[in-house]
Structure formats: structure tokens, C-alpha cells
Amino acid sequence: MTFADLKTPAGVFLVSVVFLFLSGCSTAYYKAMEKIGKEKRHILIDNVEDVQESQTKAQEEFTDALTRIKELYAFDGGELETFYDRIKDSYEACDSRADQIEGRINDVKQVAKDLFAEWEAEITQINDVKLKNSSKRSLRDAKIKYQKLETVMNTSTRGMVPVLAKLKDYVLYLKHNLNAKAVGSLSGEVVSIEKDVADLIKDMNASIKEAAQFIKNF
């Protein structure tokens, strides 16, 4: 959605809906979304897709950060300030994306919690025993599918922590010691962060694939 879109009636409505959710007015948020045909199940799917999108972009940004570091270690003359700026920009992009992913995963968890609570409450209102038992089985299966998804999302989130910590260390160290000797002293660290990035991308791939399965089968 562009800034111009936000000025339309639909845009204003959606901004208001998002504000309700962010401000903790979940009941009002859900009611507002229902008015446009979005039940909790639909919202959960949308939120999972948002996490997928963020993780796909994060893979590119963390890979880019690793590339910047390798370029620095291959430094053979030139402006160190330029290399430093590239690494700093890459770190800030990764850090910002990590915050976005964490926030979007938290949204998924909250909506899933609310959805399952609503589902359980509504099951008690079903009088037909056969239908009630069928709904219970569906809820149980949905919880199993969701728990698997949440587990892999959490794993991929934890994987960002060591990479971000090392990137921050590099940025701060270079900021204080921007010279060829400092670059040389960091040369042994590239293998370590390369492994961390590879593990992170692997975990994110698992999360993205699990999200696709969840969306398909939920």
C-alpha cells in the first residue's frame, strides 16, 4: 500500500484496524476485520505469509552482509571507509529485518492463541455429539500443525542472534580501528560468521517451507 492509498476510505479503515491491534484492542480489531470478511483463521494465514516474506528478504540481507565482510577481508588497498560503510549498512538492514520478523512472529502467536481459544469455546456450544467430536479432532490437528510451525519459526529467530552480535562487533571494532591492521586482525573470524549465516539461512528455509505447508493444509 502506498502513501496515496492511505488517503482513501479503505486505506483509512485499514490503518485504523492496524492501530486497534497494535494498541492492544484485540477484540475491536477482530470485529473490524470481520466486517471486511477476515476471520481469525484468515488473519493467521496472512500473518504467516508476512513472516515468510520477511524471512525471504532476511536471507538476502544476511547473505549480503557476509559478502561485505568477505570483501573487507580481501582488502588490498582503497578506501577503508567505504568498506566500513557497506558493512554498517548491511548490519543495520539485518538488525531492522530481525526486529520485523520478531514482531511478525509475535503477531502469529497472538492470533493463533486467540483463534484456538475461540475454537475451544465454540465447540462447547455444539450439541450434536458427532459434530462436536469432529470439531475437537480438527482443533487438535490444527494445534499440532501450528506447534510444528511455531517451533521452526522460533529456531530461525534464535539463529539471528549470534550473527547480529558478530556483525555488531565488527561494525563497532572497525569504527574505532579503521586501518589495515585492524582488518587483518579480524580475518580469522570470517569462517565463524560464514557458518553462522549458513546455519541461519538453513533454518529460515525450513521455516519458510513449514509455513507453506501450514498455509496449504490449515
User: Given this model, what pLDDT does residue 3 score?
Assistant: 36
How much is the pTM?
Answer: 0.83
User: Given this model, what pLDDT does residue 122 score?
Assistant: 97
The C-alpha torsion from 147 through 58 and 56 to 68, rounded to 10°, is -140
Tens-place pLDDT, residues 201-213? 999 999 999 999 9
* Residue 161 pLDDT exceeds 80: yes
* Residue 69 pLDDT exceeds 90: no
Tens-place pLDDT, residues 30-53? 989 989 989 999 999 999 999 999
* Residue 218 pLDDT exceeds 70: yes
User: Quick one: what percent of the chain has pLDDT higher than 70?
Assistant: 84
Q: How far apart (Å, rounded) are the C-alpha atoms in residues 215 and 91? A: 31
* Residue 87 pLDDT exceeds 50: yes
Count CB atoms within 10 A of the CB of residue 216: 7
- Mean pLDDT score, 89-111: 97
Sign of CA dihedral 211, 166, 88, 186: negative
Tens-place pLDDT, residues 129-147? 999 999 999 999 999 999 9
* Residue 176 pLDDT exceeds 70: yes
Mean pLDDT, the chain, rounded, equals 86
